[in-house]
């Protein structure tokens, strides 16, 4: 019998669920809360709303928001100092993947010591972390339910993947109302990140029946609702379903890891400081093309989940239809562009290809990839 494990936090989902954040923090033993967010979320009013609920539950708060789209190691270091000075005993995030990753990294260093690079890779966190509640403000990263933290190493100019079950938060509060203040460009970029999670986890070597359910649901929901969410930011049905797509994609990636797309985009993001969804969009179809011979039946399943009519096609024909469908989706939401268009210089490909070989996400890619093959994918994605 095959034995597998599936990890996830307590999840509170639904419009208006941010109101549960004070009670949730109390239930994990908080008395003074370190709130991590970013300036855009603060300006949208969501942090004040969350703090209202936290204060109503009798909790003190300290806010840290000095971070950027692709959070850097030195931003974590600054946040760590603030956390240690604050006397806080729990961490709450109101924000997207960047604040969540920073909060997780702060939590690691606060209780385990050392420097962040010490924890790069898998299962290197040994001591318990402060309790955490995460309320995502985007539908993309799924970080509120994962055992991942992704932080840019500013010296090496690459994203470090830190993977540990210790990083799974205690409680995730997924309130689709928080998506209302995001513009169409961010909805597109974050939505493609979630969608990429669905595809990469479905074909992952670490996929199980439990993760596959979530992967396919993520693909189905994103295929059906991402265009609507991008075209009409007030469409709460689309926003709610994209929140669920992000959540299911996050549950899948936390347990099945990812693949070559993310192993490569982590390097691009560390160099260019572009939104993660943009680099995913440029690379994903080419990685799908590379991986298709390893598991054509799974790519046929992806085409079906995307609503493609594949009756009468061979397995390979149906599998290739998944790539056609992905390219159509990217075009429809304005993300059909190459790496060169988002600023990647050709002379960076050699270094990025070598770095991608060391990324933990490459381990679960369904087809082994050499330096030469990764470099070729980079060139095709330009």
Q: Which of 142, 43, 42, 144 is nearest to 92 (CA)?
A: 144
pLDDT tens sequence across 136-176: 999 999 999 999 999 999 998 888 889 999 999 999 999 99
Query: Could you tell me the two tokens for 8?
Result: 């996830």
Taking the C-alpha atoms of residue 301 and residue 367, their distance in angstroms, rounded to an integer, is: 18
**Would you call 157 exposed, middle or buried from its count of C-beta atoms within 10 A (0-12, 13-18, 19+)?**
middle
Taking the C-alpha atoms of residue 382 and residue 342, their distance in angstroms, rounded to an integer, is: 9
Q: What is the pLDDT of residue 60?
A: 97
Query: Could you tell me the two tokens for 262?
Result: 């993310």
Taking the C-alpha atoms of residue 382 and residue 377, their distance in angstroms, rounded to an integer, is: 9
> Domains in the chain, start-ordered, CATH in brackets?
10-178 (3.40.50.1970), 183-381 (1.20.1090.10)
Q: Nearest 5°: CA angle at 364, between 362 and 365?
A: 65
Taking the C-alpha atoms of residue 88 and residue 33, their distance in angstroms, rounded to an integer, is: 5
Q: What is the pLDDT of residue 273?
A: 76
Question: Do 3 and 164 touch, CB atoms closer than 8 A?
Answer: no
What secondary structure, in 3-state letters, does 143-186 show?
Answer: HHHCCEEEEEECCCCEEEEEECHHHCCCEEEECHHHHHHCCHHH
**Would you call 85 exposed, middle or buried from its count of C-beta atoms within 10 A (0-12, 13-18, 19+)?**
exposed
pLDDT tens sequence across 280-325: 999 999 999 999 999 999 999 999 999 999 999 999 999 999 999 9
Q: What is the pLDDT of residue 299?
A: 98
Taking the C-alpha atoms of residue 73 and residue 150, their distance in angstroms, rounded to an integer, is: 10
Query: Could you tell me the two tokens for 180?
Result: 């209302």
Taking the C-alpha atoms of residue 141 and residue 95, their distance in angstroms, rounded to an integer, is: 11
Contacts 24+ apart (CB under 8 A), 321-325: 322/288, 323/285, 323/288, 323/289, 323/292, 323/299, 325/223
Buried/exposed code over 294-304 (b: 16+ C-beta within 10 A; e: otherwise): ebbebbbbbbb
End-to-end CA distance of the chain, in Å?
44
Report residues of the chain scoring pLDDT below 70. 1
């Amino acid at each position: 019998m095959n034995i597998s494990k599936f990890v996830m936090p307590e999840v509170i989902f639904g419009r208006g669920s941010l109101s549960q954040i004070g009670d949730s923090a109390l239930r994990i033993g908080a008395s003074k809360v370190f709130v991590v967010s970013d300036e855009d979320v603060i300006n949208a009013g969501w942090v004040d709303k969350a703090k209202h609920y936290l204060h109503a539950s009798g909790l003190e708060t300290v806010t840290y928001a000095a971070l950027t789209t692709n959070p850097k190691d030195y931003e974590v270091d600054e946040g760590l100092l603030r956390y240690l000075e604050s006397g806080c005993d729990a961490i709450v995030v109101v924000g997207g993947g960047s604040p969540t990753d920073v909060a997780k990294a702060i939590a690691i260093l606060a209780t385990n010591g050392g420097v962040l690079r010490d924890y790069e890779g898998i299962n290197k966190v040994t001591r318990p972390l402060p309790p955490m509640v995460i309320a995502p403000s985007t539908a993309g990263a799924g970080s509120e339910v994962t055992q991942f933290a992704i932080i840019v190493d500013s010296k090496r100019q690459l994203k470090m993947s830190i993977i540990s079950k210790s990083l799974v938060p205690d409680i995730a509060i997924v309130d689709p109302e928080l998506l209302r203040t995001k513009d169409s460009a961010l909805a597109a970029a974050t939505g493609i990140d979630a969608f990429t999670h669905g595809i990469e986890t479905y074909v992952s070597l670490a996929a199980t029946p439990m993760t596959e359910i979530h992967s396919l649901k993520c693909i189905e929901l994103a295929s059906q609702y991402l265009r609507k969410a991008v075209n009409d930011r007030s469409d709460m049905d689309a926003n709610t379903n994209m929140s669920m797509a992000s959540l299911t994609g996050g549950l899948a990636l936390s347990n099945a890891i990812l693949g070559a797309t993310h192993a490569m985009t982590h390097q691009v993001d560390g160099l260019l400081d572009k939104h993660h969804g943009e680099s995913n969009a440029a690379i994903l179809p080419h990685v799908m093309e590379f991986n298709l011979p390893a598991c054509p039946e799974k790519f046929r399943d992806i085409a079906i989940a995307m609503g493609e009519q594949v009756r009468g096609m061979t397995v390979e024909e149906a599998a290739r239809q998944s790539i056609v469908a992905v390219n159509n989706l990217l075009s429809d939401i304005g993300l059909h562009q190459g790496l060169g268009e988002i600023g990647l210089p050709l002379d960076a490909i050699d270094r990025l290809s070598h770095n991608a070989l060391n990324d933990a996400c490459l381990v679960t890619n369904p087809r082994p990839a050499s330096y030469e093959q990764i470099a070729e994918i980079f060139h095709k994605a330009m």
